[in-house]
Amino acid sequence: MKKSRKVTAAAPRSAEQSTHALLALGQGHAAAGRWREATAAYKELLKLEDRPAWRLELAAAYAGRARELAGKGMPKESLTLWENRALVAPDLPLELDHVALLLRLGQVQAVLDLHARAERRLDAATLAALRSHLAAWYLAGDPTLAAGLPPDDQIREHGTAAAAALAAYCRGDDLALREALATLPFRSPYRDLALILKALQRAWEAADQDPAGDPGAAAALLARVGDDSGFAPLRRACALALGPSATLTVRLAEAGDHSRRFALTLVGWGDERQALWEEMRRVTGPGPAALLRLLQRRRALLGEDWARRQALRLLVPGFPKSAALITEGGGRRLSAPERLLVAAWRTEDSRNPWEEMEAWDAYARHLIAAGPGPQGSDDALRIALVLRRVESHREMLAQATPSRDSDSPYRALAESLALSLEYDPDDRDTYERLVHYHLRGGEIKTARVLLDQGLKRFPKDLGLLTAALDAALAGDAFKKAARYAREILALDPINTGARERLVQAHLAHARKQIRAARPDLARKELDQAAEWDQDGRRRDQRDLLAGLLDLSIDEALGRTALSNQVAALGSGLSATLALGLETVAIGRPAAWALKAVGLGKVKVPDQADLAAFLARLRTHLEGGEALAGELQRLFDKPLSGAAKWPLTLAESESACDTLRRAGLTLARRTFAEAALKRWPDTPVFVLHQFESCRTGARYYPRPRDMQQLEDAWNRAREAGDERTAHRIGEVIDRYESAGSFSGSPGGFFGGAFDDDDAYDEAGPVPGQFAVPPEDAFRALIEIMGIDQLLKLAGIDAKTRAELKKRERQIGHERIIDEVLALMREEMSDIGRLPAPGQSPGLPLPGAGPAPAPAGSKGGRRGKPAAPAPEPPDDDPPEQFELF
Amino acid sequence: MSDPYLTLGLPPDADNAAVQAAYLAAVKACPPERDPERFQTLRAAYESLRTHRARLAQALFDQEPPTLAEVLDRADPVGAPRRPARALFDALLRGGD
C-alpha cells in the first residue's frame, strides 16, 4: 500500500481504543466530507482487524480525498489516492473520475488497460461514459489511444465521421457538418459531441437570420450531456456562453482558461478584447485606480483624447485628492481647465447650488479668457452651455421669482443665462425660461427686451409668442396682446387658450378706452372681442361693458340695456357681482351702475343665487384679480345671511375658501360657524373660523383658541386630511413663533396666558411687542397708510408709485402682504423685521446661518418646533424706532 | 452603458446624419417590442447626440465614469459570434478547463 504524503492522522491512536469507536469516528468524518481524517481512522481500524467491509469504507474515503485533491489542482496527489483505492479494494469497479485523471495526466495506456480489464464488469451506462472519455481523447488526436484500440472499435470507426463533423463546424461548413453528424448512429461514443455541435448551431449559427438565436433549444440539447461524459468539459464551456451578455463575465469568473476563451470566442469577443479583459482580471479588479492604469497603458489603442476624458471622469468622486491617481497611473498632471472641469463635475452632487454655480462660473471665465471665438463657433457654444449648466441641471428658475437681493442665486442664474445668449443667441429655450422668470416678478421691460431678441430669431415660435402675449397683458399693452394672440391663432387655429386670451385682451382694452373716455374705440374693441368669442363664454362681460358704455354716454339708453342684461342674469346677487366687477374695472364706483339699475341695496341671495354668485366670484379670482374693497363692503353682510342655506360639506368648504380668497371675512366666519354647527369640530371649518376671527385682530389669540386649532390639527391628521393639517400647522407655527419672541415658553405674554380673563383685561405689558409682529405691521400700515410707511422705510418714490398702481389691481389686503414681503427684503441688512413664522431678532434667510431647531414640543407634529426662544433682550428692537 | 457613442457604435466626430442613421439601424436591429430596456438605452444615447449642441453638452457635462465593459467596447467592440479554433476544442476534449 502506497502512503499518501502529509497524512496526519486525526484519528485516535490509543491502543485501548475500540474498533467500534474507530469505526464510528471514520464514518463520522466520511459523512462530514473530512476525507483525510476518515482515511486515517479507517487505516487505524484495519491495523486492528482487516475486514472486507472496512476496506470498502477506506476505499470510499480514498476516492473522496482523491476528488478533493483533484479539485484543488493536485492531480498527481489525487492519482496516488486512486491507486491506493485500487490496492485496498481491487474488485471495486472503475471510477470515471480516476479515468479522467489518468487521461489528463497523459497515462492513456493505463486507461486502455483499465478499460480492457473492467469492460465486462461495468454496467452499460458507466461503460458508455468511459468510452466517451476515450472517444474525446481519440478525437483530440492522441496517437497512443488510436494504437491501443482494435480497428473495429466504434471509437475508431465513428471517429472519422466525428472528426469530419468537428472540422466542418470549425471551418463554417454547415452542410458538411450536417452530413457528418447524420452518419453517426444514436449509440455512438460520439453521441454527446453530436448533441453539443447541434446546440452550437442552434444557439449561434442562426445569427444571420435571428441575432438572438435559440438559446433555449441549445440549452436543452446541452442538458442531455451528462457530467460524467468525456465531452462534459466542452459542454460546460458552451453553457457558459449561453445566457445574458450582461452577466457573461460573472459566469466566467470561476472558469478555466480554455473554457473562458472558448465561451468568449463563441459570443464574439475579439482577441484584443479578450486580452484586455484578462489583463484586468490579473490586477485587483475594475476599481477606479486599476481602470485608470489600464486607460493609461492602453491609451494608444483607446485613443488619447478618449482615454484622457474617461480618466478625468474616474477622478470625480474623490476630487481634488484623487487628482494624484492620474499621475500615479502614469498620466500627465491635470491642466488648469481639466482641474476646473472636474471640480465643477464634483459640485453637481452638492446640495448647495452656490458651490455648483461658482465652479461652473470659474470654468466659464476660463473659457472666455481663452477666447470665445465668433458667435456660433464651438468655443462660443461651449461657453454658452457652461453658463447655462446649473439651470439645465437644477431647473431652479422654473418656479422662481426675481429677487432684488444681490445675493439671490436666482438672480445670479438669470444673469448667467442672459450672458449665455451673447455667445449663443439661437437657444430659444433660454429666451422662454428667462422671459417667464422676469414676468413672474413683474419685470416686464426686461422680459420685452428678451422677447424682441427671441422673436427676431424664432418669429413663428408658439412658446415665445405666448410669452409675448403674457408680457403684453401684464403691461396693459392690450393692442399688442391682441396682435400676438392673432399670430398664435394663425399658426395654431385651435389654440383655445390663445383665443380666450385674445378675447380678454380686447375686453381689457375696451375697459381702458372707456376709462380714457374713448367710447368709439371701446366699441371697436368690443366688436372685435365678439368676433373672437365664438363660443360666447364672455358674452355676459361684453354685454355688460356695452351697457356701461351706453350708460356713460346716454343714461336712459344705458339703464335700459343694463337692466335687460341684469334681468337676463337673474337680477340677484350673482348679477350684482357681474355688474359690480365690470363697473369697478372701468374705473367707476360700483354704486354708480348698480343704482342705475335698481340694485343699490343688496339682498340676501337664495340658495341658487348663492351658488351662482360663488361660481362667478371663483372665476373672477382665478383670473388673478382681487375683489375691490367697495365690493367687499357691499357683499360681506348680505352674504353672511346666506350661511343659513343647507349646503353640503363640500359646498361649505368651497364657499369658505372662495370667501377667504375674496377677503369677505365676515361672510367667511358666518359660513364657517354655520358649518361647524352642522359638522362640529370639522378641522377645515375650525381653521376658517379661527383665521376669519383673526383678520384685523390686534392681539395674540387666546390660548383656548390655539388649543382648539391644535385639536383640529390632530383630528385632521387622524382623518388623513394632510392638506388641512398642513394649513393648520402653518397657522399654529406662525403664532407660536411670534409668541416665542420674548423667550418665555408661553409666548410673549408669558404667564398672562395662564389666565384668559387677566389677559383680556390687562392687555399687553407696556413697552413690549403686544401682538404678533406681522399683525403689528399690518396695524401700522392701516393707521399710517402704505405710502407713509414706505417713505419712513426709505423706499424710493418710483417703487412706491408702482405699489400704488398694484394696489389698484390686486386690492388693499394683498398689497399689504406684498409690502411686508418687500420690507423684509429691503430691511434684510437690519435683520429685525420678521418673516411670517419667524421671530424678530432672528437672522433673515441669507443674513446668516439658520437657527438650530429647538427640541420638538412633545413631538406634537413630528417635526422640530419653532426656533428656540432667544434670551430676553433689554434693548428695544431697532425697527420700532423707525415708526 | 453610459457612453452614447459606444452605444450607437459611432466615432467621436459623428454628425447629425450619422447619429440618426446609427440610431435607426440600432432600433431596426433591436426593436422596442423585443427589448424595451435596450431601446430606452438607444433612445437616450440618440437624444444625447442628436444635435451639434447636444454633442458639445455631452462632452462637457457627462461625468459618468467608464466601466470596464466600455473600455473593452472602445478597444474592441463585441462582434458577431465566432467559432472557436480546433485547438481550443482539442484542449477541452482532453479534459482541460
Task: Report pLDDT digits (tens) over A185-207.
Answer: 988 999 999 999 999 988 765 44
* CA of residue A442 relative to chain centroid, distance: 31
Q: Do B78 and A273 touch (CB under 8 A)?
A: yes
- Contacts A–B by Cβ distance under 8 A: 164
**Per-position DSSP letters for B41-60, written without gaps between them:** HHHHHHHHHSSHHHHHHHHH
- A572 close to A606: Cβ distance less than 8 angstroms: yes
Q: How far apart are CA A286 and CA A551, in angstroms?
A: 85
By C-alpha distance, the chain A residue nearest B30 is A211
- 3-class SS of residue A448: helix
Q: What is the mean pLDDT of chain A?
A: 82
What are the backbone dihedrals phi and psi of residue A265, each rounded to the nearest 5 degrees, phi first?
-65, -40
- Over residues A324-379, the pLDDT tens digits come to 888 887 788 999 999 999 999 999 988 888 899 999 999 999 999 998 778 889 99
Range of lowest pLDDT (A113-117, A654-658, A667-671, B68-72): A113-117
Q: Do A170 and B74 touch (CB under 8 A)?
A: no
Q: Do A291 and B75 touch (CB under 8 A)?
A: no
- Over residues A706-752, the pLDDT tens digits come to 899 999 999 999 999 999 999 999 888 887 765 543 333 333 333 33
Range of lowest pLDDT (A123-127, A224-228, A756-760, A820-824): A756-760
- 3-class SS of residue A519: helix
Q: How many domains does chain A have?
A: 4
pLDDT(A757) > 50 = no
In angstroms, the separation between the Cα of residue B59 and the nearest Cα of chain A is 9
- Over residues A7-19, the pLDDT tens digits come to 444 545 555 557 8
A467 exposure class (CB count in 10 Å sphere: 0-12, 13-18, 19+): buried
Nearest neighbour of A389 by CB, restricted to B61, B68, B94: B61
pLDDT(B4) > 90 = yes
In a domain, A21, yes or no: no
- At A118, the pLDDT band (50, 70, 90 cuts) reads confident
- At A167, the pLDDT band (50, 70, 90 cuts) reads very high
Q: Do A313 and B93 touch (CB under 8 A)?
A: no
Q: Which residues pair with A867 in a beta bridge?
A: A853
Q: How far apart are CA B39 and CA B27, in angstroms?
A: 7
In a domain, A512, yes or no: yes
pLDDT(A584) > 60 = yes
- At A218, the pLDDT band (50, 70, 90 cuts) reads confident
Q: Chain A residues with CB inside 8 Å of B76's CB?
A: 269-273, 276
Cis peptide before A849 (omega within 30 of 0): no
- In this structure, are A781 and A878 located in the same domain? yes
Give residue A324's domain range: 283-334
Look at B75 and A758; give whichever has higher pLDDT: B75
* CA of residue A190 relative to chain centroid, distance: 58
- In this structure, are A872 and A791 located in the same domain? yes
Domain residue spans of chain B: 4-93
Mean pLDDT computed over A592-596: 92
pLDDT(A874) > 50 = no
Q: Do B80 and A207 touch (CB under 8 A)?
A: yes
At A520 the pLDDT is 92
Q: How far apart are CA A288 and CA B66, in angstroms?
A: 9
- In this structure, are A796 and A877 located in the same domain? yes
What are the backbone dihedrals phi and psi of residue A691, each rounded to the nearest 5 degrees, phi first?
-65, -40
Q: Do B95 and A262 touch (CB under 8 A)?
A: no
Q: How far apart are CA A627 and CA A812, in angstroms?
A: 9
Q: Chain A residues with CB inside 8 Å of B11's CB?
A: none
C-alpha distance from residue A544 to each of A68, A473, A584 (Å):
100, 21, 12
At A284 the pLDDT is 59
Q: How far apart are CA A665 and CA B40, in angstroms?
A: 55
pLDDT(A882) > 60 = no
What's the one-letter identity of residue B76? D
* Sign, Cα dihedral of A296, A297, A299, A302: negative
Q: Which residues contact B5 (CB under 8 A, 6 or more apart)?
A: B11, B12, B14, B45, B49
Minimal CA–CA distance to A60: which of A87, A32, A30? Answer: A30
Q: Which CATH number fits domain B4-93: 1.10.287.110, 2.40.110.10, 3.30.110.40, 1.25.60.10?
A: 1.10.287.110
- Over residues A77-102, the pLDDT tens digits come to 999 999 999 899 888 888 888 888 88
Q: How far apart are CA A832 and CA A839, in angstroms?
A: 9
Mean pLDDT computed over A263-270: 92
- In this structure, are A868 and A781 located in the same domain? yes
**B77 φ/ψ sector (left φ>0, alpha ψ -120 to 50, else beta):** beta
By C-alpha distance, the chain A residue nearest B57 is A385
In a domain, A482, yes or no: no
Q: Chain B residues with CB inside 8 Å of A277's CB?
A: 68, 72
- In this structure, are A876 and A789 located in the same domain? yes
Q: Chain B residues with CB inside 8 Å of A288's CB?
A: 65
Alpha helices in A371-408 (DSSP H): 378-394
Q: How far apart are CA A577 and CA A621, in angstroms?
A: 12
Range of lowest pLDDT (A103-112, A563-572, A579-588): A103-112
pLDDT(A850) > 80 = no
- A636 close to A665: Cβ distance less than 8 angstroms: yes
Q: How far apart are CA A296 and CA A315, in angstroms?
A: 14
pLDDT(A804) > 80 = no
Q: Do B85 and A170 touch (CB under 8 A)?
A: yes
Look at A142 and A461; give whichever has higher pLDDT: A461
Q: How far apart are CA A36 and CA A26, in angstroms?
A: 10
Q: Which residues pair with A853 in a beta bridge?
A: A867
Nearest neighbour of A276 by CB, restricted to B56, B75, B97: B75
- In this structure, are A586 and A635 located in the same domain? no
At B34 the pLDDT is 86
- 3-class SS of residue A853: strand
